[in-house]
Amino acid sequence: MLEYADVSVRRGTATLLENITLAIPTGSFVALTGSSGAGKTTLLRLANRLVTADTGEVRVAGKNVAAGDPATLRRGIGYAIQGVGLFPHWTIAENVAAVPRLLGHTGLAARVAELLELVELPRDFAARYPRQLSGGQASRVGLARALAAKPPLLLLDEPFGALDPETRANLGDRLVALHREQNLTTLMVTHDLADALLRADRVIVLDKGRIVADAAPAGIVASDHPAVRALIASPLAQARRLADLLA
């Protein structure tokens, strides 16, 4: 579904990504993690051509993303980001139906109702405006919008990053369920290693623009790469302290 073949990205004298080779099969749920500035967002945005590669090739469903029209490419990929980016003067229904409308789909009201149900929001939210939603509700709308045109590939960039832990956990669970129900291929950027380990079936760790670990969660936990150990140290210490308190 998504392939990176020896991709490097440079800006000025800086190397943002170096020799990334990666194949993400259909149906995978992959978390992309790493410290701040490691290149996670850059790697994700190569897939929908918000970033272009200097060398190498990125392919979505076998097609080189650099070859076609970027707008057409993006309409076929679900994309949700931190802060959601809903259009403030559009209702929730209009926001959710934006891509299906561009694609000329019909039956938009029914599709909006179905999507609100999928992300577990009341139907009457369709008539509201973004300012009338809580952060968690807006994140659900962002997810509904990303799924609206039934894209096979879903790109998520810290979609629930700004939310409280409980809302984040609930939405994370809903996301995993949706991923399975809709047979999606999901690539999710998260700086939260615990989130990555608990939700994804494969975790990729970036460090200074390079992949330093790529394994199932159990393999990541066992990795002795210093960058991976550094990422694990803090959630592990927190979990241990909480366990001590409960003991």
Ligand X SMILES: Nc1ncnc2c1ncn2[C@@H]1O[C@H](COP(=O)(O)OP(=O)(O)OP(=O)(O)O)[C@@H](O)[C@H]1O
Given the rule CB under 6 A, which residues bind ligand X?
11, 14, 16, 34, 36-42, 191
Residue 40 or 140 having the CB closest to ligand X: 40
Residue 126 or 188 having the CB closest to ligand X: 188
Least CB distance from residue 37 to ligand X, whole Å? 4
Least CB distance from residue 247 to ligand X, whole Å? 34
Q: At residue 86, what are phi and psi to the nearest 5 degrees?
A: -75, 150
Least CB distance from residue 182 to ligand X, whole Å? 26
- Residue 65, Cβ neighbours under 10 Å: how many? 21
Residue 27 or 85 having the CB closest to ligand X: 85
Tell me how far apart the alpha carbons of residues 182 and 180 are, in angstroms, rounded to a whole number.
6
Least CB distance from residue 35 to ligand X, whole Å? 7
- Residue 100, Cβ neighbours under 10 Å: how many? 20
Least CB distance from residue 196 to ligand X, whole Å? 12
Residue 135 or 161 having the CB closest to ligand X: 161
Tell me how far apart the alpha carbons of residues 63 and 82 are, in angstroms, rounded to a whole number.
28
Give the tokens for residue 211: 């992949």
Euclidean distance between the first and the last CA atom of the chain, given in angstroms as a whole number: 46
Least CB distance from residue 158 to ligand X, whole Å? 7
Q: Which DSSP category does 50 fall into?
A: S
Residue 91 or 157 having the CB closest to ligand X: 157
Residue 133 or 156 having the CB closest to ligand X: 156
Residue 161 or 217 having the CB closest to ligand X: 161
Task: List C-alpha distances in Å: 247 to 233, 236, 239, 241, 244.
Answer: 21, 16, 12, 10, 5
Least CB distance from residue 187 to ligand X, whole Å? 13
Which amino acid is located at 190 in the chain? T
Give the tokens for residue 182: 């809709």
* H runs (alpha helix) in the chain: 40-47, 70-75, 92-96, 98-102, 108-118, 135-147, 165-181, 193-199, 217-222, 226-246
